[in-house]
Amino acid sequence: MRRNKRERQRLLQATIEENPFITDEQLAEKFSVSIQTIRLDRLELSIPELRERIKHVAERTFADEVKSLPIEEVIGEIIDMQLDESAISIFDVKKEHVFKRNQIARGHHLFAQANSLAVAVINDELALTTKANIRFMRPVKEGERVVAKAKVKNLNENGRTIVEVNSYVGQELVFQGEFHMYRSNVVKKDGENDENRN
């Protein structure tokens, strides 16, 4: 259903407030207008583009939560974080991330997204990768969005933690990583105090 400009902009603003991660393409489809119209509407409403919205939400929500590294050092934008449990980040593959001859993303960008997310999810001042087992499932191309999902699989008392990261484009798995992490603080079992730890 076509709406007049004022009504469309009112609904556009409400939609973005509800879901800051919605893309211009999705908005254009939702409101049956061109992407250019959506961009013009955003400009008139002083709503920043998606990347800036994500960055703002991440900084506001997770900056004080992430302990192991400054949030701006995470490759990609964190959109969900439960320390020592799970985390999600998104990474938009742009021209500067791909090989010129075939527009395929350089592997180190996908690795860096996954590895920095594995570091960020650790609830510790110091977290370092000691070993990583990784698999690239299929090439990722310019213009694709990679969603990395980290899950803490093993919290050991010896200062080691295993974080599994699966990265997707849409529903398709494109990267798998198992990161063995060293952490400076030993993870305590429930009910254990500092005096009876070795």
**CATH at residue 89:** 3.10.129.10
Task: Report the C-alpha gap between 56 and 7 in whole angstroms.
Answer: 26
Structure tokens at 101: 């001859």
- In one letter, which amino acid is 197? R
Question: Percentage of residues in the chain with pLDDT exceeding 70?
Answer: 83
Assess if residue 197 is contained within a domain: no
- In one letter, which amino acid is 6? R
Same domain, 72 and 41: no
Per DSSP, which regions of the chain are E strands?
A: 77-82, 86-92, 127-136, 145-155, 160-169, 172-183
Number of domains, the chain: 2
Q: What is the pLDDT of residues 52-66, one digit of tens each?
A: 776 666 665 565 567
Please list, in sequence order, all residues whose beta carbon lies within 8 angstroms of the beta carbon of residue 88, skipping any fewer than 6 positions away.
Answer: 78, 79, 80, 81, 117, 147, 148, 149, 150
pLDDT at 61: 55
Among 21-25, 54-58, 75-79, 118-122, the range scoring the smallest mean pLDDT is: 54-58
Task: Report the C-alpha gap between 152 and 163 in whole angstroms.
Answer: 4
CATH number of the domain enclosing 19: 1.10.10.10
Whether pTM exceeds 0.95: no
Assess if residue 99 is contained within a domain: yes
Same domain, 35 and 100: no
Report whether 104 contacts 140 (CB < 8 A): yes
Task: Report the C-alpha gap between 164 and 161 in whole angstroms.
Answer: 10
Assess if residue 57 is contained within a domain: no
Same domain, 69 and 151: yes
Same domain, 24 and 112: no
Nearest to 41 by CA among 7, 1, 2, 12: 12
Assess if residue 170 is contained within a domain: yes
Please list, in sequence order, all residues whose beta carbon lies within 8 angstroms of the beta carbon of residue 55, skipping any fewer than 6 positions away.
Answer: 77
Structure tokens at 104: 């395929």
Among 3-17, 54-68, 121-135, 136-150, the range scoring the smallest mean pLDDT is: 54-68
Range of the domain at 169: 64-183
Q: What is the pLDDT of residues 139-189, one digit of tens each?
A: 999 999 999 999 999 776 666 899 999 999 999 999 999 999 998 875 554
Same domain, 93 and 159: yes
